[in-house]
């Protein structure tokens, strides 16, 4: 495949010719990376089996990892599902477009490759003007896993997508960096109370304000309905070592140990207690706002990898609100698999 084409969108998100090219590419079975409020996704026609197969090939994605179908409206979502529970509909009307994916019963029209041969399908409406315009013009559903090599930190800019997938996909729609920086929350509404399968850009607290109780699960038969729950994900090339918030003593101890072993060490902190440590040449200080931390964490993990560090010391955040999703991602990045 030739070099991937990048189509730029200006601040008013207008580029009619570029949009027409992207939609035509999707209709012809091509792959188009697109921006969302969460991360950049890799799009293909959800009903075109050959196109979806190319998504798995480009990413190196395991075939048992289901995909999320992105649509422009609740009306189109019904093309892919036989049933959405009352609580699911309540959440869709409240939070779509937005960083919420609903797991619902699938229609037979949905290819097995999209659902990993399950009887459920994951659906969402992303909240980004460029992608909403693309979806409306396409008038159907597109799969949209993160536009990166499977397992790597998710892409929050077109540059990240190009780095991972150049010459593997056809088009990248570049509309600048994403605003949330973490994937959508995945909620299974085929069960009651609904089950959070993947923490993400919409907090459990906000969901429960709307519909009441939700629960978490370790049951594999449920977790397999969502991407990002079982395989190693979000991981840089370097080893990730998590340090508790404000734990200066452990941070210094780990830093000295890793350096003493001959490692090239990078670090990510945000608290006053750790920011002022002369830690490493590659020391990134993120905002104390957990929302800004979430927005930038994947970018900084990628930057540290680009410096060739062997290990990354990363300060944890409190597991509240979007902080729970941040720690989910960092926990998976730190897994030794």
Coil, strand, or helix at residue 185? Answer: strand
- Under a CB-based contact definition with an 8 Å cutoff, are residues 2 and 167 in contact? yes
Low-confidence ranges of the chain (pLDDT < 70): 230-233, 336-337
How many other CB atoms sit within 10 Å of the CB of residue 78? 15
pTM to 2 decimal places = 0.94
Domain 239-333 CATH (choose: 1.10.10.350, 1.10.150.110, 3.40.50.11030, 2.130.10.10) = 3.40.50.11030
- At the top level of CATH, the class of 5-223 is alpha beta
The pLDDT, as a whole number, for residue 337 is 43
**Token pair belonging to 119:** 């009887």
pLDDT digits (tens, 9 = 90+) for 186-198: 999 999 999 999 9
In the chain, which residue ranges form alpha helices assigned H by DSSP? 16-27, 49-59, 74-77, 86-95, 112-115, 129-138, 158-165, 204-211, 220-223, 248-260, 272-275, 290-306, 322-333
The residues of the chain that CATH labels 3.40.50.11030 are 239-333
The residues of the chain that CATH labels 3.90.870.10 are 5-223
């Amino acid at each position: 495949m030739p070099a991937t084409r990048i189509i730029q969108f200006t601040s008013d998100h207008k580029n009619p010719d570029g949009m027409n090219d992207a939609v035509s590419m999707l209709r012809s079975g091509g792959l188009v990376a697109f921006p969302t409020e969460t991360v950049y996704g890799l799009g293909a026609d959800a009903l075109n089996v050959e196109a979806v197969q190319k998504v798995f090939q480009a990413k190196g994605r395991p075939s048992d990892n289901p995909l999320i179908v992105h649509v422009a409206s609740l009306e189109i979502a019904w093309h892919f599902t036989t049933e959405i529970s009352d609580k699911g509909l309540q959440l869709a009307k409240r939070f779509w477009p937005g960083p919420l994916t609903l797991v619902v019963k699938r229609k037979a029209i949905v290819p097995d490759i999209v659902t990993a041969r399950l009887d459920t399908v994951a659906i969402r409406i992303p909240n980004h003007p460029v992608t909403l315009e693309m979806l409306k013009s396409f008038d159907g559903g597109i799969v949209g896993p993160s536009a990166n090599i499977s397992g790597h930190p998710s892409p929050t800019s077109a540059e990240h997508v190009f780095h991972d997938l150049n010459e593997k996909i056809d088009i990248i729609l570049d509309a600048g960096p994403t605003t949330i920086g973490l994937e959508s929350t995945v909620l299974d509404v085929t069960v009651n109370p609904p089950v959070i399968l993947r923490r993400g850009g919409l907090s459990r607290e906000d969901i429960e304000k709307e519909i009441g109780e939700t629960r978490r699960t370790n049951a594999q038969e449920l977790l397999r309905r969502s991407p990002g729950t079982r395989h190693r994900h979000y991981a840089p090339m370097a080893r990730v070592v998590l340090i508790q918030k404000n734990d200066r003593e452990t941070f210094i101890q780990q830093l000295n140990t890793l350096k003493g072993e001959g490692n090239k060490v990078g670090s990510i902190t945000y608290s006053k207690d750790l920011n002022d440590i002369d830690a490493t040449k590659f020391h990134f200080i993120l905002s104390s706002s957990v929302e800004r931390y979430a927005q930038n964490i994947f970018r900084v993990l990628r930057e540290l990898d680009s410096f060739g560090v062997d290990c990354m010391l990363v300060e944890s955040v409190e597991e509240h609100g979007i902080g729970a999703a941040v720690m989910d991602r960092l926990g998976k990045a730190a897994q030794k698999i």
